[in-house]
Amino acid sequence: MSNLYSASFDDLESIRHIAEAHGFCLVKQVFSAGQMEQLESGIAEDYAAFNGTCPELMSCPSLSWVMVAPRVLDIARILLPGRICYYGESYLNYEDSIGPRTKSPFNTPHIDARGSRESLTPFWSSPTDSIFRGYRFAVYLQDYKNWSGGLMVGIGSHRGNLKQFGIGAPAKVEYKILKFGDSAFTVGWPETPLYNVPSEPGDLVIWNLRTLHSAGARRLIARPEMAMLPKFEEEIYEKLPKAFLPVPGPRNAVFFDYGNEVEEVDLYIKHRRFKHRPEELVVAKDWCYDNDEIRTIFKTNNITPRFDSIITYLCSHFDKLRKNGASNADLFSMRARLFALLIEHKEFSPYFPLLSKELFLEKAAKSQEDALNYAVTTVLKK
């Protein structure tokens, strides 16, 4: 079964075909053993360096190479023809031993893609059943082919009516009895076939942002290939924990997104930005993927960066410092950085703009201070 959903890293056409047909693909042997050792040590180093509040990956000195590794970018480009965009959506999971991130992962089946022309809240759905032009990439350090703890996906859930996948309505399930010795459980099987992705160290897992998925899938010892909805896994696990294979170790991994410069990705970027109040974006304080070194990497690899969250954080922090009496000299470098990002800011649709770029430029032509005041006031009202 795995051959149907996996391909070698150098078989780019098969990767594209599998991802477009099924909504995900397991790409084999993208990273060497040496690179995986580098990744493992890099995760621990950057987690410690940032006191457990790691920024996005391009701002992590020991991890940024993963996102722009040649094999990764080759895969991103075959999936996303045209110019690709990075918008700060990346993160890592790290524990030095099995703890809450491993024991209690986010195992509710969900899709990530959201936004419409009317609202940023609804899950994204194409009126023409087209494929969402954004993907998540994941590198797991553990063996989830032979153990529990990996990714579960809904095969083909990146297309079609959302309700059939239980999004916005109860999923239709067919109930069957599953027996374990003297114990019997009623398990609901959805119309959408489920699949526990058998990733191994060195593999790259990719899935469409419209694909139904969940973390921490358990594998039955008797039938390790069988995938179930997490709620039924939990019911069985509570009574028969030894029916499942254990996890192999901490759920350490890195995740990152790439998308195209298109409307649905623009709406998703704005959904991610607007789901938090500006003052909650303090997580972006260590984001520095707008510095010269990283900009050069983006330019060399024809990647468009979006800085919505950095702009929002800077607006909030700038406003707070100014109200607390910071001098112009104290604010000089922050003002210059924010102004440069606002000048560069480019959106891919006219819906739910961060600010009016036309009005900002009009004000900037007369007074940088007036332009910044307009930007800060407007962004913080969103």
Percent of the chain whose predicted confidence (pLDDT) is above 90: 85
Determine whether domain 2-257 maps to CATH 2.60.120.260. Answer: no
367 and 280 Cβ atoms separated by less than 8 Å: no
What pLDDT is attached to residue 1?
38
Mean pLDDT for the stretch of residues 5-18? 98
Angstrom distance (rounded) from CA 302 to CA 141? 28
118 and 95 Cβ atoms separated by less than 8 Å: no
Mean pLDDT for the stretch of residues 304-317? 95
Angstrom distance (rounded) from CA 285 to CA 312? 10
Angstrom distance (rounded) from CA 53 to CA 59? 12
Angstrom distance (rounded) from CA 178 to CA 244? 14
Provide the residue type at 305 as one letter. P
Angstrom distance (rounded) from CA 178 to CA 184? 6
Tens-digit pLDDT profile for residues 22-55: 999 999 999 999 999 999 999 999 999 998 888 8
Q: Which residues fall within 8 angstroms of residue 350, CB to CB, at 6 or more apart?
A: none
Tens-digit pLDDT profile for residues 126-154: 888 899 999 999 999 999 999 999 999 99
DSSP collapsed to 3 states, 63-100: CHHHHCCHHHHHHHHHHCCCCEEECCCEEEECCCCCCH
What pLDDT is attached to residue 2?
46
Integer angstrom CA distances of residue 156 from 23, 133, 151, 170: 5, 15, 15, 18
Buried b / exposed e along 136-149 (16+ C-beta atoms within 10 A): bbbbbbbbbbebbb
Mean pLDDT for the stretch of residues 230-239? 95
- Residue 137's DSSP bridge partners are 206, 256
What confidence category does residue 178 fall into, taking pLDDT thresholds of 50, 70 and 90? Answer: very high
What pLDDT is attached to residue 166?
66
Question: Is the pLDDT reported for residue 268 higher than 80?
Answer: yes
Mean pLDDT for the stretch of residues 168-177? 79
Mean pLDDT for the stretch of residues 151-174? 81
Provide the residue type at 276 as one letter. H
Mean pLDDT for the stretch of residues 248-263? 98
pTM of the predicted model, to two decimals?
Answer: 0.95
What pLDDT is attached to residue 280?
63
Tens-digit pLDDT profile for residues 105-133: 989 999 999 999 999 999 998 888 899 99
The CA radius of gyration of the chain, in Å to the nearest whole number, is: 22
Flag the least confident range among 60-74, 174-188, 265-279. Answer: 265-279
Q: Provide DSSP, 94-154.
A: --SSS-HHHHS---S-B---B--SS-SSSBP--TT-PPPSEEEEEEESS--SSSS-EEEEE
Torsion-angle region of 315 (φ positive above 0: left; ψ -120 to 50: alpha; else: beta): alpha
Mean pLDDT for the stretch of residues 93-102? 94
What confidence category does residue 275 fall into, taking pLDDT thresholds of 50, 70 and 90? Answer: confident
- Contacts of residues 358-363 at CB distance under 8 Å and 24 or more positions apart, as own/partner, are none
Percent of the chain whose predicted confidence (pLDDT) is above 70: 96
Mean pLDDT of the chain: 94
- Phi–psi pair at 345, nearest 5 degrees: -50, 130
What confidence category does residue 169 fall into, taking pLDDT thresholds of 50, 70 and 90? Answer: low
Mean pLDDT for the stretch of residues 223-249? 95
What pLDDT is attached to residue 209?
98
Tens-digit pLDDT profile for residues 61-92: 999 999 999 999 999 999 999 999 999 999 99
Q: Where are the domains of the chain?
A: 2-257, 276-381
Question: Is the pLDDT reported for residue 168 higher than 80?
Answer: no
Cα 39 to the chain's mean position, in Å?
Answer: 18
